[in-house]
Every structure is written in structure tokens, then in C-alpha cells.
Amino acid sequence: LAIKQQALGRSKVALKLLKHAAQLDPNNAVILTALGEALEKDWDDVKENNLNSRQSRVSALSVKKSSALKSSVPEENLVAAESLYARALIENPQYQKATKNQRRTRPVVEQFDQQRLKNIDQKVARFYLVPESNPGLRLVKIEHYFQHIYHSNAIEGNTLSLAQTRAVLETRIAVGGKSLQEQNEVLGLDAAFRFLNTTLLKGSSAPIEVNDLLELHRRVLSFVDLTEAGRFRKTQVFVADHTPPAAELIPQLMDELMTWVNSEEAAELHPIEQAALAHWKLVYIHPFYDGNGRTARLLMNLILMRVGFPPAIIRKEDRHLYYETLKTANIGDVRPFIRFISKF
């Protein structure tokens, strides 16, 4: 039905039908590919319409202007299309249509990804033009700190508001109507972030060790669960539709993770790529009973801050997309998660 609608020129209707079909059967390579093609066509249509509508303004500088117009076309649909082709090939590696479509779109999407990272580099460079003596900068950093602790806990289900989180941090006095455990989660993450700032960033040229992660985790849970704080889990756990590695494999896997984090291979990546991959690898291993997400976000920000990037805040409002892109990484395509992190 969707294909018929598309043949009749009803692209929006076809796209809506294909999205619904993908929700009903999310592992069907044929449906995923068809949805990708519909999104790609929508991107092409928007690009063509933009070019045609401004064609009268393109004269002697036509090549330069048309190139600029092309780059201004929203990229989300093409990126989503290429990701769907990749997902289809995970489900069916022999599906030729998906292979052909990905071969066509991937170079363009890679250009988008690289340009996004270059834009971030430029923003960071402009940020460092602001002198440290600027009073507004200090206020921004303080607010950013409160925001980080609030959102990192809220993603895990903590119900304290930003104002309540700030009150706990500033006064160390319990907030009425909220559980002590939730307030202790705030104090634990504060202790971990202070350790990161005062200890781990001081030796920024030294390798990040497994013990550093254990110390971060120990502080994350220090006010909540001293029995498990700073210790790897000893039994198998299950996280939604992801089954993490067996407990006996964790020490070796964590050694391998930190070897990679400190490797030349990782250093050749853009800092956001390295930080996002380290975050995903840690939550994939899921080395602790609790506190994996908070510790992974601390590791991610440690990697970013060691090379001069500000810490990334993953907001509570983006929780669903955060977990969806992690899920996509678990089945074989980590690029959507890297793109997600690059927005923060």
C-alpha cells in the first residue's frame, strides 16, 4: 500500500504508512529499507525545492551558491535513511537493495558527521576566547555543574527537581517530601564529580585506569550502597533486551576497555567519538549492579574535559532517544549514539 501511494505521488502518506509498518515489524529488512528510501526521497525533494525556489538568485556565482544551498538542506532525513539501511543489513547482511542504498548515501552522511564535529571544534574555540575573569563565565560553570548532577540522576529515575538538587548541594539539608536515597544520590554524584575535577583532571596526561573508574563508582554509590560501591558485580544481570557479559568476564573486559581508551587508536578519533564510544562500551559491559549509567557519563566527560572540551549534559527530556541510540549501538551501529552525544 505504501509503495502504491508513493507511485501516485503521495509521498507523505507513503512515509506515514512505512513508519507505522516499521513500528509493527522493526526487524524487517525490506520495510526498513523502504522507509529509508522514502526518507531519502523526502530529503531529495526538499533539496530540489530549495534550489528551484532560489534559482533566480543564482547567476555568476551559481556553483558557489548552489553548493551553499545544498549544504543548508536539513540533513536529518538522509542521516536517518542511511541508518535504516545499516539496520537492514544488520538484520539481513545479504539484502542487496540495502547494500546499494547504503553505498550511495554513506559518503554524504560521513561528510555531514565530519562537518558537525568541525562546527563543535569552532564553538569550543570561541568558548575559550572568553577570559576566565569574566564573572558571567563563572556563573555559567556553576549552573552547568548543577544541571549535570540533576540530569544525570533524573535520567536514572531520580524525582528531585533542579531546584531541589541545587538546594541539597548548597545546604546539605534534606528536602521535605523526598526520599533520603534520592537526596543521597545527589551527594554521591557530587562527590564523584569533585573527585574527577580535583584528582583525575590534575594528572590529565596520565592514563585513565580501571581503578579510577572504581573510585568514581565508589563515590557515586557512597551515600546509597556501600556494599556495592566501587565493586564489580558478581552475578549475571539482564537490562531490558540486553544481556551484559557474564560476571567472570568483567575484569578482563574492563582492562581491555581502558587499554583501548588509552590507545593510539582511540587518540586518533575526535574527542567526542572517543568519549561516546567509551560511554557505550562501559554500559554494554554493565560492570556494576547499579550506577553504570552515571559512571559511564562521568567517564565520557572525563575524556572530553582532559582535552579541553566542556562536559556534555544528557538531558532528562532526551532520555528516550538516549536509550534508543544505545540500543542501536548494541546491535551493531554506534554512529547514531555518537551523533546524539555530539548535540550536547
Q: What is the pLDDT of residue 143?
A: 95
- The verdict on whether residue 165 carries a ligand-binding annotation is no
What is the Cα–Cα distance from 78 to 112, expressed in whole angstroms? 10
Alpha carbons within 13 angstroms on the beta-carbon side of residue 42 total 22
Domain 190-342 in this protein, CATH class: mainly alpha
Q: What is the pLDDT of residue 65?
A: 45
- The verdict on whether residue 145 carries a ligand-binding annotation is no
Q: What is the pLDDT along the chain (344 residues), one digit of tens a residue?
A: 666 666 656 677 888 899 999 999 999 999 999 999 999 988 888 877 776 666 655 544 444 444 444 444 568 999 999 999 999 999 999 999 999 999 999 999 999 999 999 999 999 999 999 998 998 998 999 999 999 999 999 999 999 999 999 999 999 999 999 999 999 999 999 999 999 999 998 766 789 999 999 999 999 999 999 999 999 999 999 998 899 999 999 999 999 999 999 999 999 999 999 999 999 999 999 999 999 999 999 999 999 999 999 999 999 999 999 999 999 999 999 999 999 999 98
Give this prediction's pTM.
0.89
Task: Tell me if the domain spanning 2-127 has CATH number 1.25.40.10.
Answer: yes
Q: What is the pLDDT of residue 61?
A: 47
- The verdict on whether residue 308 carries a ligand-binding annotation is no
What is the Cα–Cα distance from 91 to 262, expressed in whole angstroms? 33
Domain residues of the chain, as ranges?
2-127, 190-342
- The verdict on whether residue 294 carries a ligand-binding annotation is yes
User: Sign of dihedral through CA atoms 209, 213, 216, 219?
Assistant: negative
User: Sign of dihedral through CA atoms 43, 90, 31, 320?
Assistant: negative
Catalytic residue flag (residue 286):
yes
Sorted by sequence, the CB contacts under 8 Å of residue 151 that are 6+ apart come out as 313, 314, 315, 316
What is the Cα–Cα distance from 145 to 166, expressed in whole angstroms? 10
As given in the structure block, the three cell numbers for residue 109 are 552522511
- The verdict on whether residue 243 carries a ligand-binding annotation is no
- The verdict on whether residue 144 carries a ligand-binding annotation is no
- The verdict on whether residue 241 carries a ligand-binding annotation is yes
**Largest Cα span, the chain:** 72
- The verdict on whether residue 293 carries a ligand-binding annotation is yes
Location of C-alpha cell 590534575: 202
Q: What is the pLDDT of residue 332?
A: 93
- The verdict on whether residue 291 carries a ligand-binding annotation is yes
What is the residue-wise DSSP string for 170-217? HH--PPTTS-HHHHHHHHHHHHHHHHIIIIITTTTTSPPPHHHHHHHH
Q: What is the pLDDT of residue 71?
A: 45
- The catalytically annotated residue of 20, 270, 286, 320 is 286
Q: What is the pLDDT of residue 248?
A: 98
As given in the structure block, the three cell numbers for residue 70 are 545544498
- The verdict on whether residue 239 carries a ligand-binding annotation is yes
